[in-house]
Amino acid sequence: MTFKEHILQGIPKNLPDKKTYPATANRAPKRKDILSVDEKKLAVNNALRYFPKAWHAILAPEFAQELQEYGRIYMYRFKPDYKMYARPIDAYPAKTKAAAAIMLMIQNNLNPAVAQHPEELITYGGNGAVFQNWAQYLLTMQYLSQMTDEQTLHMYSGHPMGLFPSSKKAPRVIVTNGMMIPNYSSPDDWERFNALGVTQYGQMTAGSYMYIGPQGIVHGTTITVMNAFRKVLKKGESSAGKIFLTAGLGGMSGAQPKAGNIAGCITICAEVNPKAAKKRHEQGWVDVLVENMDDLLIQVKKTQENKEVKSFAYVGNVVEVWERFYEEEIFINVGSDQTSLHIPWTGGYYPMDYSYEEANKMIKDNPEKFKKAVQKTLRRHAAAINKHTERGTYFFDYGNAFLLEASRAGADVMAENGIDFKYPSYVQDILGPMCFDYGFGPFRWVCTSGKPEDLDYTDKMAGEVLQEIMETAPKEIQLQMQDNITWIHNAKKNNLVVGSQARILYADAEGRIKIAKAFNNAVKTGKIGPVVLGRDHHDVSGTDSPFRETSNIYDGSKFTADMAIHNVIGDSFRGATWVSVHNGGGVGWGEVINGGFGLLLDGTDEANNRLKNMLFYDVNNGISRRSWARNKEALFAIKREMRRTPELKVTLPYMVDKDILENLF
């Protein structure tokens, strides 16, 4: 059978042979055994409804065993044998280019070179799923291959509910992931309902088919690290020889040393999982691998003296590093943490005093003990950070729920008012005021021809567009523009493409629209193949997340999710090819609502209209909300946009003098 025939077939006609997991696979952690016996029967029943009755007697015990062994039913037998990667768009059997583009993006998210646990359909973050099981994948690809441009596919947490009649102007796919009745959104609810096979954790770009490998994160992390140093360095002082200490060399966190190198500092990144540390070292994402603390101390001191730019992976617990560096009086200029504290009890964060293997065993055998050990370590971790910040270290929370979980563990991380944290999040101090409030966010594109030359051409075009905008840009956004121009000029040199031919570039509404127009024109004139536009959900408008994206909203509305919902609805009727909205994301189930889109540029005039309308709303929705929350930078940006676009009329806040409120109550 050819690849196209496989896709068209959906669930195979004949029961495929049972498969064994490859010995080298990076397996997803075993999930919590949370279902009662009746619920387990329901989970198997739910799984079997994808298959004809004749197979049930064979599949039922197999699925029961998967549930018992892994805590989930992945239906591994149905994983297709063809290679999983983003093929050029014409390789897909489809009646519309839009559907073929979505298939390409789905396969990219499952490519083993890109995905964290590809056998379990997890793209990143430990639990960021594209689908819950392989039957959903097969059916979805089949639906996409059959879809016309007057149908829409509705995706319920990985499950393709089906194709429904719509119109040419409608999105081709609507994705929701993990949408719950609010009272059923605790981490254990995810364990239970995901095990039942009725919901999934889509993270951000995993469940919306928009992940482009670590490149996306390198750009954002570079901007963050660079601006963190700008906050602590004196004018004209360089970051060479200055230290950035952090943890995690996993999916996203693995970008930190590379970003540190681009930002020109010394990065020390602790990682407890030797496999993850070695992988990043072999990939060239971190310069030096160190397995022993004394060795680390010697090498770091030497690098400091020589004012070198270098990154170190330390195989061990990050708390050891914070503590030993204090004893050794090594000054840490900038500190953060990117362990996976959004999933603290299932291997997101490893405790001190246990080996990596012992800790993993404890997760399975004694989860309560593991939880206590994690909380004890968090208290110790925060105490060590506090000692450093007293010496002048600048510490920020990297949106991984570090401060949230540390506070829940009783660590000393609260501010004097008992409400706020002692330390800012990277969005409060850096990305919020410096980027999101002005509309700058992680815009991205994928060249669907799969040709590197197309990517080179788009890089060049995007650089030229930004350069032109820069000439008349107001001083408030000159720094951002310059950083992004530098990024795009060096993008190819940084060698960041893994999987599809994709590029990320922080840009504001004006930049995104002008770049997209230039691309669409190039597609029209045949200079490049069709281009998919999208963005990380971690952006200006798409995400309501009180401990991350919207942590710099101070009018009390950061615990609302209206913005994200307006965004997904607003994008959907303004021209997006597909839209998505998720519960979950980086900070945890129940802690964030986030959404995104994909938009195919096929060179038509219709695409030109769509991109203008949709990208404009996709950015300005968030700026207007941020300006209503009285954020100075957003007020500047929305007023400027209203002058440029007379059809835009946004409600602006009157500023209130503080003394008016002083003696009211």
Ligand X SMILES: NC(=O)c1ccc[n+]([C@@H]2O[C@H](COP(=O)([O-])OP(=O)(O)OC[C@H]3O[C@@H](n4cnc5c(N)ncnc54)[C@H](O)[C@@H]3O)[C@@H](O)[C@H]2O)c1
To ligand X, the closest distance from the beta carbon of 593 in angstroms equals 15
Record the tokens describing residue 161, joined without a space. Answer: 């509910």
Window 547 to 606, contacts with ligand X (CB under 6 A): 586
Closer to ligand X at the Cβ: 78 or 124? 124
Residue 339 binds ligand X (CB under 6 A): yes
CB atoms within 10 A of CB 472: 6
342 binds ligand X (CB under 6 A): yes
One of 134, 209, 345, 350 touching ligand X (CB under 6 A): 350
Measured distance CA(650)–CA(238) in Å, rounded: 41
Q: Which is nearer to ligand X, 18 or 275 (CB)?
A: 275
- Binders of ligand X among residues 244 to 273 (CB under 6 A) are 247-253, 255, 270-273
Contact, 551 vs 545, CB < 8 A? yes
User: How remote is the C-alpha of 206 from its chain's centroid?
Assistant: 8
Q: Please, which residue, 160 or 214, has the CB nearer to ligand X?
A: 214
DSSP letters along 362-375, please?
Answer: HHHH-HHHHHHHHH
Residue pointed to by tokens 């919306």:
208
CA distance 448 to 519: 12
- The nearer residue to ligand X, 138 or 359, going by C-beta atoms, is 359
Figure out which of the listed residues 349, 395, 440, 617 binds ligand X, where binding follows CB under 6 A: 349
Upper half-sphere CA count for residue 388 (Cβ side, 13 Å):
31
Q: What does the per-residue mask of binding to ligand X show for 118-157, with x meaning CB under 6 A?
A: ------xxx-------------------------------
- Residue 130 CB, nearest distance to ligand X (Å)? 15
Residues 6+ apart with CB under 8 A from 72: 28, 31, 66, 120, 132, 194, 195
- Which one of 88-96, 300-308, 343-351, 518-526 is the stretch in contact with ligand X (CB under 6 A)? 343-351
The 25-64 contact track toward ligand X, x by CB under 6 A, reads ----------------------------------------
Cβ distance to ligand X smaller for residue 143 or 398: 398
Residue 384 beta carbon to ligand X: minimum distance, rounded to whole angstroms? 12
Q: Which is nearer to ligand X, 339 or 594 (CB)?
A: 339
Q: Is 542 in the site for ligand X (CB under 6 A)?
A: no
Which residue's CB is nearer to ligand X, number 71 or number 250?
250
Interaction mask 371-400, ligand X, x per CB under 6 A: ---------------------------xxx
Output the smallest distance, CB 337 to ligand X, in A. 8
Binding residues for ligand X, how many (CB under 6 A)? 33
| Both tokens assigned to 31 | 């999930």
φ, ψ for residue 179 (rounded to 5)?
A: -70, 125
User: Cα–Cα distance between 428 and 391 in angstroms, integer?
Assistant: 22
With residue 257 as reference, give the H or E element that holds it.
Answer: helix 256-263
Instruction: Detail the DSSP E strand segments found in 480-557.
Output: 501-507, 531-535, 543-544
In terms of CB distance, is 159 or 219 closer to ligand X?
219
Taking the CA atoms of 289, 295, 300 and 303 in sequence, report the sign of the dihedral they define: negative
- Least Cβ distance, residue 253 to ligand X (angstroms): 3
Residue with token string 């102007």:
169
List the beta bridge partners of residue 124: 128
Q: Give which of 163, 150, 145, 154 is closest to 102, Cα–Cα.
A: 145
Q: Are 111 and 55 in contact (CB under 8 A)?
A: no
Amino acid at the residue 621: N
Which of 73, 106, 170, 217 contacts ligand X by CB under 6 A?
217
CA angle 399, 401, 404 (to 5 degrees): 130
Query: In this complex, which beta carbon is closest to ligand X, that of residue 204 or of residue 466?
Result: 204
Determine the residue with CB nearest ligand X.
Answer: 250
Q: Are 593 and 581 in contact (CB under 8 A)?
A: yes
* Residue 142 near residue 10, CB atoms below 8 Å: yes
87 vs 219, which CB is nearer to ligand X? Answer: 219
Please identify which residue in 107, 227, 246, 340 interacts with ligand X, judged by CB under 6 A: 340
The whole-angstrom separation of Cα 160 and Cα 99 is 14
Nearer to ligand X, 145 or 215 (CB): 215
Residue 565, CA distances (Å) to 211, 506, 508, 579 in order: 21, 23, 21, 11
Instruction: Output the smallest distance, CB 218 to ligand X, in A.
Output: 9
Q: Measured between alpha carbons, how far is 622 from 635 in angstroms, rounded to an integer?
A: 11
Residues 268-297: x/- map of binding to ligand X (CB under 6 A)?
Answer: --xxxx--x---------------------
Least separation in angstroms between CB 314 and ligand X: 8
Considering only residues 396 through 415, tell me which ones interact with ligand X, judged by CB under 6 A.
398-400
DSSP designation for 126: T
* Smaller CB separation from ligand X, 94 or 204: 204
**Site pattern 305..334 for ligand X (x: CB under 6 A):** ------------xx----------------
Nearer to ligand X, 108 or 577 (CB): 108
The CA-atom distances, in angstroms, between 348 and each of 28, 209, 410 are 12, 23, 19
Closest distance to ligand X from the beta carbon of 131 (Å): 19
Interacting residues toward ligand X by CB under 6 A: 124-126, 217, 220-221, 247-253, 255, 270-273, 276, 317-318, 338-342, 348-350, 398-400, 586
